[in-house]
Amino acid sequence: LYLGGVLHRDINNGNILRLREPIERPHSRSASLPELGDDVNLSSCRGFLADLDHAIEWRKVPPTASRDRSGTLPFISLRLVNIWAVNRPALHTAADDLESFMWVLVWSLVHI
């Protein structure tokens, strides 16, 4: 998403959807990542992120620091939680989205 110009800002267990069967997807600029190696198939889609209510297109609208909170509490990055806890404005970054994925993984492992 980030390479496609989008910050999701609300990655949680309900927004990551897995497809039963992969579907073909058109080649895109973000699908050519040579550092991933040749063994990664980027021509099929196995899942997607839903609920773009809090998402921004960061290339068109640069993100700004805000006191407004976006996200689902159990999956928000610790950095954002700590900043918002003292009522300071925070800039949501791609690293915060990545940490949210990690919290979804932890949540999933606990709930197996």
8 A C-beta contact, residue 1 and residue 49: yes
For residue 38, pLDDT over 70 is answered with no
How many angstroms separate the first and last alpha carbons of the chain?
Answer: 27
| Paired tokens of 44 | 């099929």
Smallest Cα–Cα separation from 7: which of 45, 83, 64, 78? Answer: 64
Cα 62 to Cα 79: distance, rounded to the nearest angstrom? 20
Percent of the chain with pLDDT over 70: 86
The predicted structure's pLDDT at residue 63: 73
The predicted structure's pLDDT at residue 40: 62
Residue 85 Cα to chain centre, angstroms: 22
Is the pTM value of this prediction over 0.85? no
| pLDDT one-digit tens code per residue, 39-90 | 566 678 888 889 988 888 988 987 778 877 788 999 999 999 999 999 999 9
Residue with tokens 């979804």: 104
Reduced to 3 states, what is the DSSP secondary structure of residue 59?
coil
The predicted structure's pLDDT at residue 112: 85
The predicted structure's pLDDT at residue 36: 58
